[in-house]
Amino acid sequence: MCLDRRAAPETRASQADGGRYDRPMDPLKEHPLEKDPLEKHPIEEHPIEEHPLGRNHDFRALLSTQGVSSIGDAVSFTALPLLVFALTGSGAAMGVVGALQTLPDLFFGMIAGALADRSNRKKMMFVADSGRAVLTALIPISVWLGGPTLAVILVVAAPMSILRSLFLAGYTAAVPAIVGRSQLARANALFEAVYSTGYIIGPGVAGILSTAIGPGPTLGIDAVSFLLSAFGLVLVRRPLIAPTDRPTRHILVDIREGIEFIVARPTLRSAIAFWGIVSVTTAALVPALTVDVIRDLGLQAWALGLLLTVYGGGTVTGALLISRRRRGSAGPLLLGGNLARGLLLVAIGVVGRLELLLPLGFVAGIADSAVLITYLTLRTAHSPDELLGRIGSTARTISLGLQPVGMLAGGLLIDATNGATTIVAMGAVVAGLSIAFAPIRALRHAQLNPH
């Protein structure tokens, strides 16, 4: 299951430009990459005092609170589609809500990355989490008051997406400053394992509570988890402030700098394009699974929660298996693992029995985790410190910002056919993308440690 839904292991840092741009510039005409786009930003390891992750207070604080937050994310991940489906009975409606949740990334994602490279990342994440707590709480409050719940969902979806962009941009730029570049691969895997553990607990809780009290009140758990995530940021001792000695430039110059660096690097541009297309293709996977389990197979909400829980167990297993892999070729895992995911999705759409869906979901979770961690680590390894926030946000602009296309297309396909057919179609396209990108040498031979 391809889900770029997490605020965990997207980890990058941002350092000072070192005063290299020391003369006035027209912010929209003259650009620092025009003379030598590849040599302006060598990928260097800036000195950061590093501690073993187990003794790193800031890492432990962030890891534990994000783990709690992941349970809330997983509850929302399961309960929100159930709520929209209960209110409308339409796959297209779920697609519209999903599109509203991701469309702002297309327009705001790169701005968030530029802001992260010039601001206080900790404050940025704190404000984002606090705002998401308030907005999420409006949904169960609307249910309790008997209000227009669907209208509330539609109204809060876009602001939630903007705040998520801010959080992810700050997170992307901050985590390497906490753990150091040499430990990013292991930190990525640990964040993924903890986050995926939330996806073992959360969907089961959501399924049981949605059956007992309804999916609307169940969403209150996610609101509380955002508050706990904000509290965890208070426990982080490092200031996580972007360098202040950079010259003042127009924000469009900063955005363009990140884009041009990606375009000039074959490994980065091919990896980001690959993951982006895969993410768009599988954007409507959860709505398709919801319709398949609830309507097509005639099961209750607990069955969907159980399937997502088993999938979460697979992602934890995959994260632990790959946690100590810090170097070597990324191509086989990216392409081969994604091919396996596609074939597993086809099988999930075909079997039509819960006892067969569960083991397939577990193996799909292993493959998904391996591919995601490999992609994130590869992207970090090939990005210079001073551009990490912008490169990460540019990548998410593609993988998240274009998801409305996949959401709407998937929703229409669900209504025209059924959930199972939509899942099979997604799996076939995902498998085909691995075959289509295999001839690209930069991606096939990409190294996790390019030095």
Domain ranges (residues) in the chain: 53-241+250-444
Domain 53-241+250-444: homologous superfamily in CATH: MFS general substrate transporter like domains (1.20.1250.20)
Residue 446 identity (one-letter amino acid): A
Q: What's residue 44's pLDDT?
A: 44
Burial class (CB in 10 A: 0-12, 13-18, 19+), 214: middle
Q: Assess contact for 226 and 130: CB atoms under 8 A.
A: yes
Q: What's residue 347's pLDDT?
A: 96
Q: What is the 3-state secondary structure (H, E, C) of 274-299?
A: HHHHHHHHCCCHHHHHHHHHHHHCCC
Query: CA–CA separation, 18 vs 250, rounded Å?
Result: 18
Of the candidates 427, 418, 400, 312, the residue with the CA atom closest to the CA atom of residue 358 = 312
Q: What's residue 345's pLDDT?
A: 96
Looking at residue 32, the DSSP 8-state letter turns out to be T
Burial class (CB in 10 A: 0-12, 13-18, 19+), 125: buried
Q: Assess contact for 380 and 446: CB atoms under 8 A.
A: no
Instruction: Give the predicted TM-score (pTM) of the model.
Output: 0.68
Termini Cα distance of the chain:
32
Residue whose entry in the numeric block shows the structure tokens 């700050």: 170
Spatial CB neighbours of 312, under 8 Å, sequence gap ≥ 6: 74, 196, 197, 198, 199, 200, 201, 202, 203, 365
- What DSSP line would sit under 404-448, residue for residue? HHHHHHHHHHHHHS-HHHHHHHHHHHHHHHHHHHTT-HHHHT-BS
Q: What's residue 238's pLDDT?
A: 78
Looking at residue 29, the DSSP 8-state letter turns out to be T
Supply angle C-alpha 76, 293, 343, rounded to 5: 95
Q: Taking the alpha carbons of 194, 445, 177, 278 in that order, is the dihedral positive or negative? A: negative
What Å distances lie between residue 411 and 215, 349, 405, CA to CA?
20, 16, 10
What Å distances lie between residue 33 and 29, 41, 276, 351, 388, CA to CA?
12, 9, 25, 52, 16
Query: CA–CA separation, 168 vs 147, rounded Å?
Result: 31
Q: What's residue 15's pLDDT?
A: 29
Supply angle C-alpha 329, 335, 337, rounded to 5: 95
Q: Assess contact for 280 and 406: CB atoms under 8 A.
A: yes
Residue 52 has a CB neighbour count (10 Å cut-off) of 9
Instruction: Please give the distance of CA 419 from its chain centroid, rounded to a whole number.
Output: 23
Of the candidates 5, 145, 132, 156, the residue with the CA atom closest to the CA atom of residue 84 = 156
Q: What's residue 361's pLDDT?
A: 93
Q: What's residue 324's pLDDT?
A: 64
Query: CA–CA separation, 330 vs 359, rounded Å?
Result: 26
Residue 413 identity (one-letter amino acid): L
Q: Which residues of the chain have pLDDT under 50?
A: 1-47
Query: CA–CA separation, 197 vs 203, rounded Å?
Result: 11
Tokens of 300: 């209750």
Q: Assess contact for 245 and 117: CB atoms under 8 A.
A: no
- What DSSP line would sit under 155-196, residue for residue? HHHHHHHHHHHHHHHHHHHHHHHHH-GGGHHHHHHHHHHHHH
Residue whose entry in the numeric block shows the structure tokens 């110059």: 253
